[in-house]
A and B are shown apart, each in its own frame.
Chain A
Amino acid sequence: MNEHMIHCELDPLLAALSYAVSVLGSFTALQLAIAIPAAPAGAARTKAVIAAGAAMGGGAIWAMHFIAMLACRMPIPVTYDIGLTVLSAIIGIGACTIGLAIVGNGLFTPLKLTGAGLLMGVGVAGMHYTGMSAMQMPATLSYDMNIVAISVAIAVIASIAALWLAFRMRGTLPMLASALVMGVAVSGMHYTGMEAAKIQHAGGQTAATGIASGDFGIAIFLIVALLLGVVLMITLKRQQQRAQIQI
């Protein structure tokens, strides 16, 4: 059986890039998220929650996942099912949006922090494993469930730590630390999840209907460019607002 096992050869540069993107996405999302408690109830708060959830789910998690998949070089052709790929993004964005809405609403309590961290962690894991199931390849995919459990635990615990740093503390350094920790949540979960995956050659052909790995390049570039643009915009806007505050 073992001679049929397919191993992923990791491109270290792309792997590092995947972590950098998860940190950038987390930083953007948390910058948006910390404005949720102060946003007026109603449409403004809903917009803030959705923007933060989309940046976290789409930028930090989804984009990281697919860069990491590009970093994983396998000796078989792989394409991705469009429906499941879209669903994986929806899971990531949805779970993060709900999580951030919980932690950003009302008084900050350990219960809310745990609930939000749990949702975000499950969102990270849900996105990853749905994204993995979207893989179309001449191979079968199975998992070591013990390692899967560890990967989910990493995502949940690191998400709680990141939210604690971002929401409870004030200032740029805790925010940066929070983004680095959230990057660990996303990347740690992903690479641990990849360790749990057992890919065995099954013969046959790759479905021609899916998206090829290389096609994600443009989508990922657009997401990263958007995240950088949002960070720049938030920074400039907050500097402007800060200067206008009257004593």
Chain B
Amino acid sequence: MIDVEFKITAERREGLLVELGRIVINCGYTLLRPRTATSGEGVLVTLAVRGPERNLSALSEQLSTHPLAQSFESAVLGGKASAPQVNAAQKPRPAARPDEAYAREVEALLPELARHFPKVLPLVVGFEREISPEYLDEASRYAGTRLGAWMFKRDYSLGARLNLADSVKQIALPAMRSLRSCELVDGKLIVKDSPFCGNGLHHGKSCHFLRGCLEGLLNEPGHLGSFDVEEAACRNLGAARCIFTFTPVD
């Protein structure tokens, strides 16, 4: 058994403790001391828990990737470690926080994406038709980010920590190929005949879902810092192909 303290910052308090508590219990842990406090960054939840060491990585994983979590730290308590083991640096930067206006729709979409993966196109198209146009771009990108992060954790997390160029080649490219035919040219990812181009719903560059997927795939490892993915050309603007470029965020 191991005692661990988690510190999680979130934007809102409503339902947060219940959701995090459920995760803790599902991982076989007992909640010892839950505390919440309001800070300048939002709500700080401190959870002291006790449970089997073998489930610690699964618990940390689920807490750190919870959609409401903005930052995440963990520290082993008691004699198991001489100093707190802080994992804050491993928390990947979320590309965007879900706005209340579309968070529910995205959360409803995500399990369906996972269930039908890689045949997600009809689901994405259906989602983009239902979401309010005001939030369409942002919501599509956020859903893509979550799918990309999930793909990374599922299929690409084992292996060396790669630099950006290799990450794009060895992780982003094969992952995106599971969704759509694409290729890598001069470090740019090119998608031919992308059906994710908004289907007339978007104005301007429109492959927000694919852009989010790439951001999720590249930002989830966390060791490279953060990257923004830009769509340099888009079929929705008359280009022959959709081209994605990768820019480090300072």
Structural contact, B166 and A170, CB atoms closer than 8 A:
no
Contact present for A108 and B147 (CB under 8 Å): no
Q: B81 — which chain A residues lie within 8 A by C-beta?
A: 42
Given contacts A40-B57, A40-B87, A168-B170, is CB(A108)–CB(B150) below 8 Å?
no
Residue B243 lies at the interface, judged by CB distance under 8 Å to chain A: no
Within 8 A of A (CB), among B146-191: 146-147, 150, 153-163, 166, 170-171, 174
Q: Is the interface of A mostly helix, strand, loop or mixed?
A: loop
Q: Which of B58, B87, B154, B159 has the most CB of A within 10 A?
A: B159
User: Which residue of B is nearest A164, CB measured?
Assistant: B160
| B245: interface (CB < 8 Å) | no
How far, in Å, is A34 (CB) from chain B's closest CB? 4
B161: A residues at CB distance < 8 A: 37, 106-108
Chain B residues near A169 (CB-CB < 8 A) = 159, 170
Which B residues touch A41, using CB under 8 A?
85
Report the bound CA distance from A9 to B48 in whole Å.
66
B153 contacts across to A, CB distance below 8 A: 245
CA A42 to CA B2, docked complex, whole Å: 15
Shortest CB distance A171–B (Å): 7
Residues of B within 8 A of A241 (CB): 58
Bound-state CA distance A103–B156 (Å) is 17
- The 0/1 profile, CB within 8 Å of B marked 1, for residues 3-43 of chain A is 00000000000000000000000000000001101101110
If A107-B163, A246-B65 touch, whether A38 touches B223 (CB-CB below 8 Å) is: no
B147 touches A247 (CB 8 A): yes
Name which residue of chain A comes closest to B157, CB basis.
A38
Q: Does A2 touch B at the CB level, under 8 Å?
A: no
Q: Are B223 and A107 in contact (CB under 8 A)?
A: yes
Q: Could you say which residues of chain A place their CB within 8 Å of the CB of B199? A: none
CA distance A35 to B57 in the complex (A): 13
Assembled-state Cα–Cα distance A242/B155 (Å): 8
Q: A42-B81, A167-B160, A247-B146 are in contact. List 17 more A-B contacts (CB 8 A).
A: A34-B158, A37-B159, A40-B85, A42-B85, A107-B160, A108-B160, A108-B163, A168-B162, A170-B156, A170-B159, A170-B171, A241-B58, A245-B150, A245-B154, A246-B65, A246-B150, A247-B110
Show 26 residue pairs from A and B whose CB-CB distance is below 8 angstroms, ordered by the A residue.
A34-B158, A37-B159, A37-B161, A38-B158, A40-B85, A40-B87, A41-B85, A107-B161, A107-B162, A108-B163, A169-B170, A170-B155, A170-B156, A170-B170, A170-B171, A171-B155, A245-B61, A245-B150, A245-B154, A246-B62, A246-B65, A246-B150, A247-B110, A247-B113, A247-B114, A247-B150
B residues with a Cβ closer than 8 A to A are 57-58, 61-62, 65, 81, 85, 87, 110-111, 113-114, 146-147, 150, 153-163, 166, 170-171, 174, 223
Closest 9 CB pairs of A and B: A108-B160, A167-B160, A247-B150, A247-B114, A34-B158, A247-B110, A34-B159, A245-B153, A170-B156
